[in-house]
Structure 1
Amino acid sequence: MIRLLVICLLSAQILQAQKKYVFQRPEMGSPFTITLYSTDSASAAAAAEAAFHKAEELNALLSDYIDSSEINRLSAASGQHRWIPVSPALFDILQRSMRAARLSGGSYDITIGPVVRLWRQARKTHQFPDSATLREALARTGYQYLRLDTVTRSVWLEKKGMQLDVGGLGKGFVAQAAMDLLEQQGFPIAMVNAGGKIVVGQTLPGKAGWLIGINAPGEKETLLPSFLLLKNMAVATSGDIYQYVELNGKRYSHIVDPATGIGLTRRRNVTALAGDGTTADWLATACSVLPWRKSLRLIRMLPGTALLVTEMKNGKISSKSSPGFRNYLQK
């Protein structure tokens, strides 16, 4: 009994002796930040380096900005009427994407790539996508035309010209993979922030959780007065703070409604909480598209998730939250 007490006291002292280390570099077009606690700066740096390497490795597979990426090579094989074997990581994210599409009724759709590319061009040229071109791009979308074979880990894209785009959950997926790697290396007290898609692990003894702020709608620097207090969870916020285009006096978000092919025009932020980064990310995307009641229905289908929607109306912030969201706010 005394020996057990001594071991526990020593473990507590080691935990208390850990120092905070922060590492950052650009990944996936955004700042990628790793915060972890360790008693040794060298081991902390090595663990962060391994997590950054994991992010780079996954980005090389999943980015549709990289011509040679595996996901682009898969898209190029669309309409060839054959099964294409893919890597475990790509197959994993495709499975998760299909589940997200089915649960959200298509409000998240990984096949929206042809339309997303049109809106990227619109942001560059400041010209609204041509209606005929938009219809043609929409005709090449539809998650129901993406088929997966779990036995051979293969993919069949039925329509020619399909383009997969993991933008609505990719950063959350990579953040979770980096967090999992840190835990495997013995660093469970950590946080990974992939361009605002955040995954947190355990906390120091005596701490209730990681304190995380939420941006006010339409604001880059201003935070909401209430802060999140999270442990072993993920949070993602979707909005048009950074990526949008103004056309004919109207502001269009980079988030596209898969049903219409049009960028969202509602000025609001959607913050989703979940047990993993991938789920939090696609929920924030899907619930940006879905009306409030359908968003609530979706949240109720997924235990351990919560939702906050904030909008700026007449100079004031209005908010709606799912029943369990307040449980994660700092008391």
Structure 2
Amino acid sequence: MSFWRGLFGSTRPPVAAQRLQTFGGDTMGTRYNVKLVATTGPELAAIQTEAHAAVAAVDAQMSTWKPQSDLSLFNASEPGDWFAVSPDLASVVALGLEISALTDGAFDMCVGSAVNHWGFGPDTAPVDVLAPPTDLPSFRSIAVRLDPPALRKTGPVYLDLSGIAKGFGVDAIATVLERHGIAAYMIEIDGELRAKGTRPDGTPWRVGISQPKPGATGVHHILALPTTAMATSGDYRRYFDVAGQRYSHTIDPRTGRPTTSTVASVTVADPDCARADALATALLVLGADKGPAMAQHLKLDALFLIRDEGGLAEKMTGRFDRFFG
């Protein structure tokens, strides 16, 4: 009896099945959500703890809403001297400066004072739509050093990382999952996401691009994701109206005013979510003509949803159509 059991029915405990696991939490004024393929047990609990700690650290370092964050302390510092910051903050600012240079300033972290002026930052002063900010520092006012990590400004500058920090938070969670050997996952923070592998049944991770209309809950496109990161910027979620004019939370750093183009949303795919996040913001600012031209120049896979008289028109660059299916 034991002979046949040894051949056909091992007495070793069965290997736990890999199945879909989910968890999430609050961060950066919104929520993060993680789906992964793994077994239950102590390792999954450790992954959840480490993922939450990773994204909480990003918020603690890069929030303008937290007075004691690294970023807030740098914003309050005097110009001239190097200001020590965390390695992650230095890396994010370095990437932001790279995207600023690539997009001719359409993405610029120095937009913070204008963001506050229009009431989209922690400063809740009444908005004067007739007097936009005139003192517009640019990314050229910022220097970054990675070792030892530090920032320096040459004049009064208020950095705002809302166009890149959520993407970096997604990447930070991905780093935790990769460290634990997770080969299949999807991470999302407020529309910025990163996917790898497939679901347990072998089908791809699927996400929806929202209809870019205020208050809409429908989906414009369903995308099937390979291993990639993706970010969407739009002008339809955070805004206010004055005298029939809509003012979006996306600020054009070159004018200090909310964007007024016909582009409703831009979705960009890239290996890194932080980079996709910043590029999507820049392309939205550039508008319906210059945005696709810049995306083509940078060889980006991007989808533009553009308002026209018939509703919404689409422009795609690169191989974005490979995500339809």
> TM-score normalized by structure 1?
0.86
Larger Rg, first or second structure (1 or 2): 2
Alignment of 1:27-42 (within 5 A): 27-42=27-42
Structure 1 segments, 4+ long, off by >4 Å, are 121-126
2: CA distance between counterparts of 1:67 and 1:327? Answer: 43
The answer as to 2:107 corresponding to 1:108 is yes
**Greater percentage in strand:** 2
Which residue matches 1:4? none
Aligned residues: 309
| More displaced 10-residue stretch of structure 1: 42-51 or 177-186 | 42-51
Change (3 A) 1:165 1:315: same
The answer as to 2:273 corresponding to 1:274 is no
The answer as to 2:55 corresponding to 1:60 is no
**Equivalent residue for 1:175, pick from 157, 163, 170:** 170
2: CA distance between counterparts of 1:198 and 1:265? Answer: 26
1: CA distance between counterparts of 2:105 and 2:120? Answer: 24
Deviation digits for residues 291-322 of structure 1 (CA, Å, limit 9, x no counterpart)? 3443334334545x311111343462211111
Q: CA deviation at 1:208?
A: 5.2
The answer as to 2:260 corresponding to 1:261 is no
Alignment of 1:62-81 (within 5 A): 62-79=62-79, 81=80
Which residue matches 2:92? 93
**Equivalent residue for 1:321, pick from 294, 303, 316:** 316
**Equivalent residue for 2:160, pick from 162, 165, 168:** 165
Percent of pairs identical after alignment?
Answer: 26
SS at match of 1:74: helix
The answer as to 2:251 corresponding to 1:245 is no
1: CA distance between counterparts of 2:308 and 2:168? Answer: 33
Which residue matches 1:211? 206
1: CA distance between counterparts of 2:124 and 2:322? Answer: 42
User: Tell me, which stretches of 5 or more residues in structure 2 are unaligned?
Assistant: 1-13
Matched AA of 2:27:
E
Deviation digits for residues 250-281 of structure 1 (CA, Å, limit 9, x no counterpart)? 11110000111111133511111111101110
Deviation digits for residues 202-244 of structure 1 (CA, Å, limit 9, x no counterpart)? 22476352111101121541111x3211122111111123210
Change (3 A) 1:124 1:318: farther
Q: CA deviation at 1:127?
A: 3.8
Q: CA deviation at 1:108?
A: 0.3
1: CA distance between counterparts of 2:68 and 2:140? Answer: 25
> TM-score normalized by structure 2?
0.87
Which residue matches 1:145? 141
SS at match of 2:176: helix
Alignment check: 8 A CA contact 2:307 2:313 kept? yes
Matched AA of 1:321:
M
Alignment check: 8 A CA contact 1:126 1:246 kept? no
User: Tell me, which stretches of 5 or more residues in structure 1 are unaligned?
Assistant: 1-12
